[in-house]
Amino acid sequence: MSDKNTHSRRTVLKTASAAILAGPISSVATTMEPHPPFVTLLREPDLVRAFGPNEAEIPLQKTGDGTWSGGHSEVLIQVVKDHVAVSLRGHGASRIQLRWHGDLRPIQRYLGDHWERSYADLEWRGEAPNRPMPWYFMAFDGHATHGYGVRTGPGAFCFWLADQEGVSLWADVRSGGVPVELGERTLPVAEVVCRSGKPGESPFAATRAFCHQMCPRPILPDKPVYGTNDWNYAYGNNNAELIASVSALISELSPDTDNRPYSVIDEGWAMGPYNGRFGHGPWVGNPRFGDMDAFAHRLKGLGVRPGIWFRPLTPLPDSPSSWALSRDPNYLDPTVPEVKHHVATEIRKLDGWGYELIKHDFTTWDLLGLWGFEMGPSPTKDGWRLHDSSRTNAEVLTDLYRTIREVAGSVRLIGCNTVSHLAAGTHEIQRTGDDTSGRSWNRNRRMGVNTLAFRAAQHGAFYNVDPDIVAITRAVPWSLVEQWLRLVSESGTALFVAVEPSVVEPKHREALKKALTLAAKTQPIGEPLDWMETLCPRRWNLRGKLAEFHWMGESGAWPFSD
């Protein structure tokens, strides 16, 4: 990194700090040098390519205005006022690439997103030409921060590559692990959008504005979402009495009468865990819980809103073999009509019991067989087939989310391990990072702080951001947890706490009451100020004031598994 670039980035941070000390910030000035030209993508790409299985290229030629054809595939490009529409016809293509040439030498730092949850690895980086950046990326040139992406709800898994000589969009149009079979249908692959950064605009403000541009129709809760979730102290060893006791505590410490907290019952309530099969049904209360309908009403009587966890794509003991996913028969294939009906039936049941929030989990892993950090440029492995090969993997997941949304009615949805760009518009809340912990502070620092810093800009634009649980347990030092609790509660994002009942002291009650009071009301979105320098920002603009955190503790980071 050159001395000039270092000076430019430090200027951003120093200016932001001064603005906070003077009052709420609305913009951040950088330097007074002339702005480099913005490289727009609102034109036909300079190169269009298609690839079949095993990355074998399908030669394409431009055969008409906005049309590239070759083999049995046809890529269509339509440039309209505010986006570029990309479509596909025919069969045989697994992936397509669009390339726009342009001078990106002025770009100093790039920020990419993640396929689904993030995994402590989001960061601003210099040029990395082979680095896949799912869905969108931001580019900082020392003066302004520009955005490049696809609108939410695309028909393909899309990622970006960027280098000094141009920008590439790659779209994975597979169904399972084979080329999608479109028949006579035209696949709407994606709508490409871009945004030129504005003078005096902070990188965070630019990212937030671009997220709003990418998602024209989000579904958002009418009030902030907050409350308790038992996973980070119970880890599946939960029961009705334990959850009722913690729910009563959270109810007592939540003074807002207009927006009551949620109590989300996580994994452990159904018959699967009771029989040693975590993640499985039958989806009825096990003997530790009893009648789940009655328990929902009990929670309401305690002054909390009941929520519940559900894993849609694991089979029941009597599920027919024809429902099984060919990639792995331990999971269900959502393109089988009876599987969609089964998922809808279970969601209706949870709604009918009186649960006002449903947290559904594992759908990306169960369908595609990879976690987001394993996907790189390929969200699933080649070679396997879905029951219905006429829909892309992106369309299959979007259809599953819509099915859940439609039958859930007024129930709020939290997507966990759901694909960010596909869940936007159907889910009010999104778990935006991998699990935090009631056992390891290192995991909270890595997963929690990172996802909150680098995905807070999506809050209120795609959905409400859930950075995951703040856990008060014996295993995690309170001096560090107290800071994490403050950050989440003042950030404006969703706050869920896990409280091990036996550790609660007056200091915990006081901090929880303050945090829950803040979380119940709409707050300005917290802005990380040093996020261009670190993966776990310490310096934040919270409610218009400068806040600085000390995340490392006495011993520093733990380099091994957590």
Bridge partner residues of 503 (DSSP): none
Calculate mean pLDDT across residues 55-77: 96
Per-residue pLDDT reduced to its tens digit, 225-240:
999 999 999 999 999 9
- pLDDT of 252 above 60: yes
User: pLDDT tens for residues 201-220?
Assistant: 999 999 999 999 999 999 99
Put the strands of the sheet holding 95-101 in their side by side order. Answer: 57-58, 47-51, 95-101, 166-172, 157-163, 133-134
- Higher confidence at residue 26 or residue 86? 86
Kindly tell me if the per-residue pLDDT of 7 is higher than 80: no
Write down the pLDDT at residue 256. Answer: 85
| Average pLDDT rounded to a whole number, residues 100-125 | 98
pLDDT at 22 over 90: no
Give the closest residue to 299 by CA, choosing from 349, 230, 360. 230
Residue that is written with structure tokens 């100093």 in the block: 108
What's the Cα-to-Cα distance from 18 to each of 22, 23, 24, 499, 543, rounded to whole Å? 6, 9, 10, 37, 15
Phi, psi of 524 (to 5 degrees): -60, 150
Taking the domains of the chain in order of start, what are their residue ranges?
A: 47-214, 226-524
Separation of alpha carbons 398 and 299, rounded Å: 32
- Residues 281, 285, 289: CA angle, nearest 5 degrees: 140
Q: Can you give the length of the chain in residues?
A: 562
pLDDT (0 to 100) of residue 432: 98
Per DSSP, the three-state class of 414 is: strand
The per-residue pLDDT for 33 is: 63
CA distance 336 to 176: 13
Mean pLDDT throughout 186-198?
Answer: 98
Q: Report yes or no on whether pTM surpasses 0.85.
A: yes
**Residue 20's pLDDT is what?**
43
Phi, psi of 115 (to 5 degrees): -65, -50
Residues contacting residue 136 through CB under 8 Å, at least 6 positions apart: 112, 113, 147, 148, 149, 150, 160, 210, 214
Confidence (pLDDT) at 32? 53
Record: fold of 226-524: TIM Barrel (3.20.20)
- The whole-angstrom distance between residue 30's C-alpha and the CA centroid of its chain comes to 30
Separate counts of helices (H) and strands (E) for the chain: 15, 29
Check residue 12 and give its pLDDT.
43
